């Protein structure tokens, strides 16, 4: 198949599909973190009609995730003056993938507003179902694809803060690094491998 991973620069999913013999590409505004030989550095929306058989899309979730809803309150208007417009743009971007004329599609995002504004996801997965101890609810909207079957269920790891709040250890640790957003958004290899094996 001709496979494209939209909004991916890590090549984590792309490499898994290529290893299965598919003509797999990644597409992102940022340069590839890998060899870049099959990476399209461009606006993903310009390449929706490039003849793909399967698309896995990761639209940016910053303005879609429910965990950030508090920033939309009036008291934060001075801090985030354009936040409502940015959310509208994020919704439009997400829906371009949903409406793309590609036979098989998966749109991935954390728990967010699209479940209410559009429709509920077909599946919610956790990394600890695929060999990683990290808890991270991930929604999948699927078109002509079967829900992923867990490949290796392990015990999730949590960290309790001084205030008593419990969160995934993986999520807490990068909180104080400048690359925390990139680190938190990466696809876990076990999930990428399951996608390639079960959808490819």
Boundaries of domain holding 97: 2-156+188-199
Residue 79 lies inside a defined structural domain of this protein: yes
Contact 130, 150 (CB under 8 A): yes
Residue 58 lies inside a defined structural domain of this protein: yes
**pLDDT above 60 for 98:** yes
Q: To the nearest whole number, what is the mean pLDDT of the chain?
A: 88
In this predicted structure, what is the pLDDT of residue 108?
97
Alpha helices by DSSP H, 99-179? 114-117, 169-172
Structure pTM? 0.86
Residue 53 lies inside a defined structural domain of this protein: yes
HSE-CB at 43 with a 13 A cutoff on CA atoms is 4
In this predicted structure, what is the pLDDT of residue 180?
46
What's the number of domains the chain is made of? 1
DSSP-assigned letter for residue 186:
S
20's CB contacts (< 8 A; 6+ apart) are 196, 197, 200
SS3 175: helix
35's CB contacts (< 8 A; 6+ apart) are 11
**Tens digits of residue pLDDT in 124-141:** 999 999 999 988 999 999
Residue 121 lies inside a defined structural domain of this protein: yes
**Tens digits of residue pLDDT in 151-197:** 999 998 877 777 777 766 656 565 555 554 555 568 999 999 999 99
Q: The CATH number of the domain where 31 resides is what?
A: 3.40.50.150
**Tens digits of residue pLDDT in 106-125:** 999 999 999 999 999 999 99
Averaged pLDDT for residues 32-52: 95
**pLDDT above 80 for 60:** yes
In sequence order, what E strands does 31-150 have?
Answer: 39-41, 54-57, 104-110, 123-125, 138-143
């Amino acid at each position: 198949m001709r496979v494209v991973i939209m909004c991916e620069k890590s090549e984590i999913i792309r490499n898994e599909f290529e290893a299965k013999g598919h003509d797999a590409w990644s597409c992102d505004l940022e340069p590839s973190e890998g060899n870049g030989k099959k990476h399209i550095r461009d606006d993903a929306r310009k390449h929706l009609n490039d003849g793909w058989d399967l698309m896995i899309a990761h639209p940016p979730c910053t303005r879609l995730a429910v965990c950030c809803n508090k920033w939309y309150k009036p008291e934060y208007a001075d801090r985030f003056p354009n936040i409502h417009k940015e959310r509208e743009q994020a919704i439009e971007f997400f829906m371009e993938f949903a409406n793309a004329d590609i036979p098989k599609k998966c749109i991935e995002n954390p728990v967010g507003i699209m479940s209410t504004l559009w429709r509920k996801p077909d599946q919610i997965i956790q990394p600890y179902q695929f060999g990683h101890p990290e808890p991270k609810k991930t929604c999948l909207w699927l078109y002509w694809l079967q829900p992923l079957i867990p490949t290796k269920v392990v015990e999730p790891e949590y960290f309790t803060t001084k205030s008593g709040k419990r969160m995934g250890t993986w999520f807490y640790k990068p909180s104080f690094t400048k690359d925390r957003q990139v680190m938190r958004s990466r696809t876990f290899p076990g999930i990428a491998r399951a996608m390639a094996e079960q959808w490819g």
